[in-house]
Amino acid sequence: MLAALVVNYRDLDVDAAARLHGVSAPLLWHLLSDGSAVSGVVILSTCSRFEIYCQIPSDVCVLSTRSTVLSALSNCSGLPLSRLFAIFNQIQGQLLVKHLFAVASGLDSVIAGEYQIGGQVRRALSDAQTAGTTTGPLIRLFQEASRTAKTVATRTTVNASGRSIAALSLDIALSVMRHETLAAASVVIFGTGAYAAHIMEVLRGQKCTAVFVFSWTGRAEDFTAAKGGTALSLAELPAAIAAADIILGCSGNGARLDASTLGSWRQHTTRPLVAIDLSPNNDFDPAIAHLPGLELLTLESIRRAAPKADIETLRQAHDLVQDAVHRFEEQESIRQIDTAIVALRQHVEGVLAAELKRLHQQERGAAVPEASAALRRMAQQLLHTPMVRARKMATAGEHHAYIAALDALFGISVDLPDHPDSSPGSAELGVIPWPYRAQPCQPSLHGESQAAGIWPEACATRQAAAI
């Protein structure tokens, strides 16, 4: 069974976001080395979300698993367990699949249709595979999420306005600066990770050549050697910022440029400056917004300025996601029933082999090969209908009825493998009760009733149940 714990950074303060952002690697190790029931983990950590996808046995209580995972997260991050219980929501079943497919397609991003999240989903799976924490169901889930994202991108225009947050932030900076292009702009980037590399690509596309890179951890030289730009030392940083048009933070390592330091570096310049902070834990002190001649852009202000995707386009994209969810569940259901089909085939082939052996021992003559062929054809015909029915019952969620029939008719005992939707009630709702929040379904920033990955129809179901 698959379960996910999800939180959106809009529910976090700056300190909590910073602590979560750096614990992915140790958390993977903690979850799989403490003797818990978790057998596989993939962690999706971006500037706007932190999500933990786990595989657990179907007979394990998901609430206890939630406690186990959040306890490990508390140990790794230093955040109080009560705080984590308040902000994390657990989803499973169909809602888990739907949530990840929508996330990978950019439909749950700060900017609807943002394409960069697809690469982050692929990287999350790759990192987990490198760490050896994946399982077959988790791999299939994330791979299908990536395929769904490609389908949405090619069959709708949702990505037309869904530029990356970095690209949109630079466009906003241009409007603030009242420049037509970035070709003559001087840009200082804080950070050397994957997001910094993406920003370098965006700047190259806009013909910006005066790009300087600073790293608190001393990685700027290696980064610029591979990606371009000019590396800055700490001694060179003040002069570069005094001459900059844009400074852009995406390091996410906890170091922060404070307002007093930035103010002292800029005290002898009247050059306007746009500061873009794309780090979930803030590379720049929010107080810099009060410095003269400086405009601060944050993830929240960028979200407010993002173009609204067309309603019909979003509907088409969500329909494609829902179709992909149904196909994935059908494939997983058929995969699950394959164990029973193999057991039935082995049973019939065993009976056939015994009968053929008896035939060859007792009979002689030209009729034996014909009789053998006839028995084989009969066995195949007898297997055909049960195999077809198995797949139909699997897609209808009637796995256990089929298994019970095999046991009653043939004495064949089959243990079904875990399935993402195998827990009671998960196909109906897929949401674990959340007693730590009085009103679990709040209006989201996108104007929908959606709480950390809980879709509107699930919220309506829960509210109706509460009434």
Residues forming the active site = 47
Question: Angle at the Cα of 50 (from 52 to 18), degrees rounded to 5?
Answer: 130
Tokens 């009085």 label which residue? 438
